[in-house]
Amino acid sequence: MIIPAIDILNGKIVRLYQGNYNLVQYYDHNIYNLIEQYLLHGASIIHIVDLESARADNHDRNKIFNKIVNTFGNYIQFAGGIRSEKDIEYLLLHGVKRIVLGTAIINQVDQVKNWIKYYGSEYIVAALDVNIKNNINSICIHGWKKDTKLCLEDVLENLSTMGIKYVLCTDISKDGTLLGPNITLYNSLIQQFPKIFFQSSGGVCSLNDIIKLKEIGVNDIILGKSLLENKFTLLEAIQCWQKGLSPALM
């Protein structure tokens, strides 16, 4: 599935470069209009990220996110600063389709295990942001600011025993760069953990990237900057995903 992403910071749509809050690009789109446009063009799920809450331990969500949840809840995969049962209850009660846990996956392991069991694996997505150095896939948390030194594969092994179904994995070095996705990383993860449905995120810049990711078995592709920069349209991306061909070859 193709999942368009909208990252929000200071009330604006943005993209970070390699997860760096100091390298932020703002886009002059109306948030609600863009959500409606993506839905009109065929999106089944939209990935919404609250970047302010992602990097803060105790950050109150503003009215923008409350309006998004109340208006579009059934289509939203929500990420950013979800670290308590209260957060989860609020989002699910307002119809959010999936809830993305990031920092909590590392810092609240026992609670996450209980949440997966209680709420169900259909509603929980584990977001694992990876810093790759010397062929070691190290997990970062708190909006990519803190490197935990924990190995991605070890964390995935633990999540598998908890019954996790969806994992959103981002190679931080690719995020917001339009330099192409880390095909090698995703291919390796899919081979090692065939029961997990992987969502790829970061680097997609062409329809050929979508074809390559689908061919190796990625379940979902998160698209952010490539759509905002008009590298291709959402409709083209969805058609490419469905048929496995770029529009020129259809």
For this structure, is 220 an active site residue?
no
CA dihedral (248, 197, 53, 78) positive or negative:
positive
CATH class label, 2-249: alpha beta
Given this model, what pLDDT does residue 59 score?
Answer: 59
Residue 116, H or E segment: helix 109-119
CB 171 within 8 A of CB 185: yes
pLDDT the model gives residue 142: 76
CA distances from 112 to 115, 138, 144, 180, 222 (A): 5, 20, 20, 32, 23
Confirm whether pTM is higher than 0.85: yes
Q: Residues in the chain with pLDDT < 50?
A: 250
Q: How far is CA 116 from CA 35, 106, 139, 239, in A?
A: 28, 14, 20, 33
Give residue for tokens 């910071």: 9
The question of whether 57 is a catalytic residue gets the answer: no
Whole-number pLDDT of residue 108: 92
The active-site residue out of 57, 60, 110, 129 is 129
> Which residue(s) pair with 98 in the sheet?
77
pLDDT in tens, 139-186: 988 766 788 889 999 999 999 999 999 999 999 888 888 899 999 999
Over residues 112-149, the pLDDT tens digits come to 999 999 999 999 999 999 998 888 898 988 766 788 88
Give the position of tokens 């309006």.
Answer: 67
pLDDT at 245: 58
State the Cα torsion 14-126-98-35 to the nearest 10°.
10
The CA distance from 167 to 15, in Å, is 21
142 phi, psi to nearest 5 deg: 55, 55
Measured CA to CA, the distance from residue 182 to residue 162 in angstroms comes to: 26
pLDDT of residue 148: 86
